[in-house]
Each structure stands twice: as structure tokens, then as C-alpha cells.
A = this chain, B = another copy of it.
Amino acid sequence: MSHFYDETSIERVEPGRWSTRLSRHWNIGENSNGGYALSPVLRAVQELASQPDPVTVTTHFFRPSKGDLDGEVRAEVLRAGRTLTSASGSLSQEGKSRLTVLAAFGDLGSATVSAHDITSPPPDLPPPDECLIRSGMEQGVDLPIMERTDVRIRPEHAGAGTHHLAELEGWIRFADGTEPTAMALPFFADAFPPSVFSLMGRVGWVPTVELTVHVRRRPAPGWLCARFECDDLHDGRLIESGRLWDSSGDLVAQSRQIGLLLAG
């Protein structure tokens, strides 16, 4: 049993079209978490692709997706290559387009290590049980998503608006013991509080306009370690960059998003 895989499942209606149903257990406040809402679309793309792993996943979020509501998924291959397949997809609910995805799938299972490799080590974090459990109240919204994910924040980054930088480090895993996979990394890359939280405090819902996740490796079992930072906030739009490492210390995903700061 895996809540993530059960609650992102899709059923094919006809070629290129699937039905799904989002669960409210992945909500941030009243809305589905973006990384969760894009995951059924990613599964449709995976069904169409000849390769198993998402290598790059870009999503534009048009309006919030809703939990405990049916959804319609569409996907089509744009280019099928020997090593990479590019496809687009979308999620609609109640006849309204919620998000669109442009993704490329490849095979991350046959990676070779080269002397030319350039690697970034994970941050030196206190272990998960010395970090703080993500609290919805401090961010200013309810977090049903905490029923499904276990998020621990580095203590120095956990006080709302008390840190001198917009950065956030911590740990994440599924609450039900499901081990992380390449398909789940776009979700994990969008499941932390906004990194401006540590600098600015209660920023509430930070709508993502666009999110791109590059999956770099299939993750080893165990906790994922994460670092997010915002070095660019201007005119109410912010750029946040993130990285995820697996329990072996290998970099497994990089992410970047542009989001809207409604408060402040």
C-alpha cells in the first residue's frame, strides 16, 4: 500500500485521455499541493514514453487543483527518441484546465560514473530527529499534506522570519513508509515550505507560476535531504532553487520555480 501511488493513479478512458481523482490529503490549505497535482499527469506521460524516468519536468500552474475532486488527464508525445521522449500533458477539473506539463523521460538506471563528474555534496544537517516537524500554523495555512509526508526542518531555519537568509534545509519522506522513486521527486521538490518563510515569516500560500524539476538519479531508500533558497525576489515574483539528495548523499534532483508572493 502506498498513499502516493494510490492517490495519483490514473485510468485510461481512451488514447491520450485518462481519469483521476485527487485526494484532499495532499492539500496546502484549500488547494492541492502543486507537486502532487502534477503527478497523475506525469504517470500518463510515463505510460506513453519508452523510457521509465522523468528527466526534466516543467509545469505551469493556471489555477489551484482541488482535493477530493475528479480530474481529467490528457497527454501526448511530442517527440519519441531513442534516449529521450518529450511529451506534454494537462490536468482539468470541472472542465477547467488546472496545470500543463512539458516533460522528457529517459533511463536513469544505467548511469555511469566518470572522472569528469561534477558533484554537489549535501548540506551538513542535524539528523531528522534533531530537526523540527513542519508546522502549518507557523506558515499561516492548514497543512493536510502533513498526513502524507514527514517533513523536518533544520532548527535555525524553522523560526518564522527569524533567519537572515531566505534558505531552508531539512529532511523529507512519505509518512507511510513508501520509499522515494524518480517519479516522486517532482513532488518532493515542491513539498517544503517556501524558503522565504525563514526570512519573512508567515507568507501564506505562495502560488507557483512555473516549476521545473530535473531528476538526476533514482533515489536510494530512506530520507531525502533538501536545500531550498531564494536569491531573487522582485515585483512580487520570486525565484526559488532547490536540491534533493538521497540517503547515499547523491544529488537526485534539482528544481527551480517562479512563484508569486501575495503577502508582504
Contacts and interface: CB of A to CB of B under 8 A. Distances in A.
A213 to B, nearest CB: 11
A238 interface: yes
Main secondary structure of the interface of A (DSSP, over half): strand
Interface residues of A, number: 53
Interface in A190-221: 196, 199-200, 209-210, 212, 214, 216-217
A69 interface: no
B117 A234 contact: yes
B118 A235 contact: no
Copies of chain A in the complex = 2
Contacts of A258: 55-56, 214
B212 A234 contact: no
A209 B254 CA distance: 15
Interface of A: 55-56, 58, 60, 62, 78-79, 81, 84, 86, 88, 90, 97, 100, 102, 104, 108, 111-114, 116-120, 166, 196, 199-200, 209-210, 212, 214, 216-217, 230-239, 241, 251, 254, 256, 258, 261, 264
Given A116-B233, A210-B214, 9 more contacts: A56-B209, A60-B104, A62-B79, A79-B97, A84-B209, A114-B264, A117-B233, A118-B238, A214-B258
